[in-house]
Amino acid sequence: MTPRILLSAYQCGPGMGSVSQIGWEWYSRLAKRVPVTLVTHIRNEKALKDAGTPLPGSEVHYIDTEWFAGPTYRFASKLFPRSQHSAFLVSSVDYFVYDRDAIKLLKSLGPKNHWDLVHAVTPVSPAGATRLHTLRLPVVLGPWNGGLASPTNFPEIMKDDVGWLYKIRDIGRYLDSAFGTTATAAAILSATKATDAAVRASARDRCVRMIENGVNLDLFQPATWTPGPSLSNPLKIVFVGRLVPFKGVGMLIEAVRRVKERIPIQLTVVGEGPLRAEWVELAKSKGVADAVRFTGNLPLPEVAAEMARSHVFCLPSIRESGGAVVLEAMAASLPVLAANYGGPAEIVDEEIGRLLSMDGSESLIADMVRSFDEIVTNPDAWRRKGLAGRARAEKLYGWDAKIGTAIDLYHRILEKRPLNG
């Protein structure tokens, strides 16, 4: 039997950000293999239609809550101008309005045998309590990634991140109890150990390990790694991410400053955010403006091109739940430097890169400097790390492999077989 899937993806659309990309990958790749009905937010309509939706073998329904979502986001952005993450947390309460309206629509579309199984793929947080089980169909939740505590060794960075606001996620836990979200779920896809711990204890036996991100192995191809350094071929480092406090770009700029006099080096910062102007000024004040390039946001093909021109990917983010860019760097055969915390800490090891100290800013910067020196003195060893990363990405993190695993899980649920094994 080919299962008919109802896919709920609040965030869904190519080129609209990492979580929306996750929603798009699930929809576009599932639709090639099973009948899919996608329900998503109206804000995604243009991007989805530009990408050719509805895709063959699928249908799409849009939920319009802009009357609530728009004003909420504008208020949150004004309230937290330096922290996009905090603004997102406040505005994410719109999800519960979306969920209510989506269920009303779905119940009006026909009898319960219209679909065999419901899968809620975004949002990717355990706070995303849903009442989709009221459709009286098996529900798969996730992959979820969340529950990560804020680090304590970087007060000078976290003070700008409004960390106390993370407690807003507790609303999701209360609603989980009220709605019966995890209590009724057939399976919960969980990305990390922190996510497991955030799931209600009585539901953990239905947790199945699956990282929330995947990688397009066709787009992110192995780089042609020509190690330097020389004046014509400096050590090329690339960072990709939002320019917000916890991403740690200020520490990365300081590490570049410390090695610049002895190593020709070039840092490319891909991304946008409220701290861009501040970090541009920081690079100038430290005398490394000529070695640091800010590109702003780029489409994924251009991100892949930047990685293909680089030697190493560096993510000194001190509070990273996921790690989509880590997988992309691995697929591009770049060795990865990442802070030893959260999602990256469960992906990166010495075989494919290095985890950086979380003992404070000075220790993390020193680890980056030491790693840059090692890449220059022993490039072959670091090239091997990059190749090992590509092999691991092909084996574990390609989107097609992930979708295949999910379809197998759907069959297990519908046939009432064990979730794992």
Parallel, antiparallel, or unpaired: how do β-strands 187-190 and 207-209 relate?
A: parallel
Predicted pLDDT of residue 83: 54
Q: Cα 131 to chain center, whole Å? A: 24
Same domain, yes or no: 346 and 372: yes
Q: Which two structure tokens, joined as six digits, stand for 5? A: 């899937």
Residue 227 within any structural domain of the chain = no
318: buried, middle or exposed (CB in 10 Å: 19+, 13-18, 0-12)?
A: buried
Same domain, yes or no: 209 and 267: no
CATH number at residue 109: 3.40.50.2000
Q: What is the per-residue pLDDT across 225-246, written as a single tens digit (0 to 9) for each?
A: 665 555 558 999 999 999 999 9
Q: What is the per-residue pLDDT across 14-33, written as a single tens digit (0 to 9) for each?
A: 988 888 999 999 999 999 99
Percent over 70 (pLDDT), the chain: 89
Same domain, yes or no: 357 and 406: no
Same domain, yes or no: 208 and 341: no
Q: What is the per-residue pLDDT across 188-212, written as a single tens digit (0 to 9) for each?
A: 999 888 888 888 889 899 999 998 8
Domain with 286 in it:
235-396
Q: Mean pLDDT, the chain, as a whole number?
A: 89
Residue 90's pLDDT band, with cuts at 50, 70 and 90, is very low
Same domain, yes or no: 197 and 83: yes
Question: How many separate domains does the chain show?
Answer: 2
Same domain, yes or no: 254 and 362: yes
Q: How many whole angstroms separate alpha carbon 172 and alpha carbon 260?
A: 47
Predicted pLDDT of residue 180: 84
Same domain, yes or no: 250 and 189: no
Same domain, yes or no: 373 and 323: yes
- Does the pLDDT of residue 86 top 80, yes or no? no
Residue 171's pLDDT band, with cuts at 50, 70 and 90, is low
CB 3 within 8 A of CB 408: no
What angle is formed at CA 336 by the lines to CA 335 and CA 339, rounded to 5 degrees? 155
- Does the pLDDT of residue 85 top 70, yes or no? no
Q: Tell me the pTM.
A: 0.84
Tally the residues of the chain.
421
Same domain, yes or no: 299 and 163: no
Over range 250-255, report the average pLDDT: 98
Same domain, yes or no: 34 and 57: yes
Over range 295-302, report the average pLDDT: 94
Residue 363's pLDDT band, with cuts at 50, 70 and 90, is very high
Residue 271's pLDDT band, with cuts at 50, 70 and 90, is very high
Same domain, yes or no: 388 and 408: no
Residue 419 within any structural domain of the chain = no
Same domain, yes or no: 367 and 407: no
- Does the pLDDT of residue 161 top 60, yes or no? no
Question: Tokens 């930047």 belong to which residue?
Answer: 306
